[in-house]
Structure 1
Amino acid sequence: MLNFRDANFNDKPKLLALEQALIEAERPFNKLTKVDATYHDLDALISVADTLFLVVEIDGQIVATGYVQIRASKTYLQHSHHGYLGFMYVVPQCRGQGLNKKLLEKLIVWGQERGIRDFYLEVYTQNNVAIKAYEKVGFTSSVVEMKLTL
């Protein structure tokens, strides 16, 4: 049975494992990622008021994660705040079932209920599968970050 629910502190061991799986999946796109890297402050994501951190369960097992956080926007933009989406991850054996799309829809609705109309996320330009998934929901490319390593 498919279940969407708020992440909680009891989920931390599984969330840490999924975060490492995400980092390993993205490592080919960024060779500079530390061996012992972490991306998220899970305690803050679970407890901060302006954040919705969801997990997706199938038969009681967490198979996907994602959060939306209301953040202040850059002052030159028309909107004062936006929804930032992160830790979007679906375990490999559950991909292709539309879980990411359903999860994104729930996160976006939560933001909309709080007056948010603009949503952002980051994805590696080489991650074509993820880009296509986000485009299916309506995202478009905005800014490309460039880097130079000497």
Structure 2
Amino acid sequence: MIVRAAKETDLLRLEELEQGIISAERPFNSTLKVEGAKYYDLPTLISSDDSLLLVVELEGELISTGYVQIRVSKQSLNHDKHGYLGFMYVEPEHRGKGINKVVIEHLIEWAKAKGIHDFYLDVYAENGFAMSAYKKLGFENTLVEMAVHIK
């Protein structure tokens, strides 16, 4: 298993994995587009000095992703910047092997080297498996986003 920074040559596979995460999250959000849904600006995540997009490669195939992006924090918080974690995805046949934990640890270490000590991520409240996994890594609920769709 190789954990490495994503490259532009990985873009096609990253787009496939992005669709995997969108498909996995569609049951939690009925407002996601049926076709053409995109979450990430992948070229920017690869090239920006303020982000690190990692991939996990196994036997020449990309099976997992994750990124950290350094963002400006709300002025009400006691930290000026924080790390936002996203695109946390492991192909279904490789889940339960601790791969996501390895990715998150690498991302946090990279951001800590840049002076970042506060980290956030979004997860659907109904996604119990993901919620449990993140809590095991020390994350806790801080804010609940609520939405309504009115016709």
TM interval, short-chain normalised: over 0.9
Pairing of 1:8-87 with structure 2 (within 5 A): 8-35=7-34, 36-87=36-87
- Aligned equivalents of 1:7, 1:51: Cα separation in 2: 11
Question: AA paired with 1:51?
Answer: S
The alignment partner of 1:109 has SS state of helix
**Would you say how many aligned residue pairs link Structure 1 and Structure 2?**
149
- Aligned equivalents of 1:21, 1:53: Cα separation in 2: 16
Task: Report percent identity of matched pairs.
Answer: 52
Question: AA paired with 1:104?
Answer: I
Equivalent position of 1:125 in the other structure: 125
Q: CA RMSD in A?
A: 0.5
Question: AA paired with 1:12?
Answer: L
Question: AA paired with 2:127?
Answer: N
Equivalent position of 2:141 in the other structure: 141
TM-score relative to the length of structure 1: 0.98
TM-superposed CA distance for 1:60, in Å, is: 1.3
TM-superposed CA distance for 1:148, in Å, is: 1.3
- Which runs of 5 or more structure 2 residues have no equivalent in the other structure? none
